[in-house]
Amino acid sequence: MQEVQVGNSRYIRDLNLTGIFRLIQKYGPISRKELAENTGYSAATITNHVKRLIDEGFVIETDKGSSTGGRRPVYLTVNPEQGYILAVDIEVKQIRILLFDLNLKVKEKLELSIEVRTAEEVLQILAEQIRSFCRQNDIKEEKIIGMGVVLPGLVDNKNGYLHFAPNLKWRDIDIKGYFEKALGYKIVVENEAKAAVLGEKELAFPDVENMVYVSINEGIGCGIIFNGSLYRGASGNAGEFGHIIIDSKGPECHCGNFGCWETLASTKYISNRYFEETGKIIPYLDLCKQAIADNEILLEIVKETARNIAIGLVNIVNSLSPEVLVIGGNILALKNYIMEDIEEILTEKALSVLKQKVELACSKLGNKAALYGIARMVFDINIEEEIIARIN
Ligand SMILES: [Zn+2]
């Protein structure tokens, strides 16, 4: 009995300690007084836990803060060099890696271009590159609190397993198992759009409770924030709006249906249509570099794509009524040609009561949204265990 009580009190003490650390991470630089005022903790509890966090190197004192006059109090902030998070975004033609410090600020980055290869080859190269990236930046293995991997596909987030990424042509891959073995880090795996909606919410729309992020690349992925939290649904993969059927006589989709939204509104649709019209095979991003306004065929295809994008968005607005609808992904290379049309069609076709409440926005974080989101996820999942393991 005695032991249980001791265990419980240590558990509660550790929980308070990590709770205070999270607050410093989120709101720092912050003074001890502000911490006490904004939490239920007594000044003595704050003082004790902060001392411990400082002694163990997780928190440092600084003179920067929002002084309201008088003697400047000492402010507390996270020691950014006390832990690192790796965030990896596996796209069809490239892999982007960001190294975040403990303040969730980007410290270093690495971009790899990938030719079409099997998943096994890509994962092996990636593990080697990450090892040398950490060595070059002098990041000690024991300071890495975890690595997050985002993929454009159906993911089992609980087990870190990729079911299917159609545009990568990867199927049934134990991503978490592979990297845990190859690198020894704690691994979190997430769908790209789900990680991106978390990143956008955290950094660009912190007060928004209901939002949808639509990632338009070779496919279309969506992430939903519902009443302030990521909505996963029963399967963990809610938000597959890319496969709502827009035109049942449309092109065949890899899911087996015809005329899914992503077959008519993705970046692949643009390059496919350009090939149909001109016989020229030009990758999407190269098409974006052309003088689009002077290319009548291309301009018409882009307008057509904007209409198709808007029709899918009408369905999202009518079904979920988000406060903010964010468009992200490589489609934004054409934002000057599509956003006005999309807004116009949305106003015309969505139910007006719902349309009036939604703000249409372009991703504020660009192609880093998913990386920020997954870094936050890794932090939230691992930080408690990490601090307790290092302190006790
Ligand atoms: Zn489909």
Q: Do 101 and 39 reside in the same domain of the chain? A: no
**Domain harbouring 42, CATH code:** 1.10.10.10
Residue 170 alpha carbon to ligand 1 centre in Å: 16
Residue 176 alpha carbon to ligand 1 centre in Å: 26
Amino acid at 66: S
CB-neighbour burial class of residue 48 (10 A; exposed 0-12, middle 13-18, buried 19+): middle
The total of structural domains in the chain comes to 3
Q: What is the pLDDT of residues 239-290, one digit of tens each?
A: 999 999 999 999 999 999 999 999 999 999 999 999 999 999 999 999 999 9
pLDDT at position 1 is 47
Residue 154 alpha carbon to ligand 1 centre in Å: 13
Residue 328 alpha carbon to ligand 1 centre in Å: 20
Residue 322 alpha carbon to ligand 1 centre in Å: 23
Q: Do 153 and 242 reside in the same domain of the chain? A: no
Q: How far apart are the first and last CA of the chain?
A: 22
pLDDT at position 39 is 83
Q: Do 72 and 92 reside in the same domain of the chain? A: no
Integer angstrom CA distances of residue 213 from 245, 250, 344, 345, 364: 19, 24, 19, 18, 11
Q: Do 159 and 253 reside in the same domain of the chain? A: no
Q: Do 239 and 350 reside in the same domain of the chain? A: yes
Q: What's the half-sphere exposure (Cβ side, CA atoms, 13 Å) at 279?
A: 0
Q: Do 317 and 278 reside in the same domain of the chain? A: yes
Q: What is the pLDDT of residues 174-228, one digit of tens each?
A: 999 999 999 999 999 999 999 999 999 999 999 999 999 999 999 999 999 999 9
Residue 317 alpha carbon to ligand 1 centre in Å: 20
Residue 251 alpha carbon to ligand 1 centre in Å: 10
Residue 28 domain-assigned (yes or no)? yes
Q: Do 190 and 226 reside in the same domain of the chain? A: no
Contact, 187 vs 179, CB < 8 A? yes
Q: At what angle do helices 267-278 and 296-320 cross, to 10 degrees?
A: 150
Contact, 188 vs 149, CB < 8 A? yes
Q: Do 214 and 348 reside in the same domain of the chain? A: yes
pLDDT at position 10 is 77
Q: Do 188 and 210 reside in the same domain of the chain? A: no
Residue 52 alpha carbon to ligand 1 centre in Å: 53
Residue 306 alpha carbon to ligand 1 centre in Å: 19
Which pTM does this prediction carry?
0.92
Q: Extract the tokens encoding 124.
A: 């092996």
- Structural domain for 261, as ranges: 205-363
**Domain harbouring 228, CATH code:** 3.30.420.40
Q: Do 128 and 215 reside in the same domain of the chain? A: no
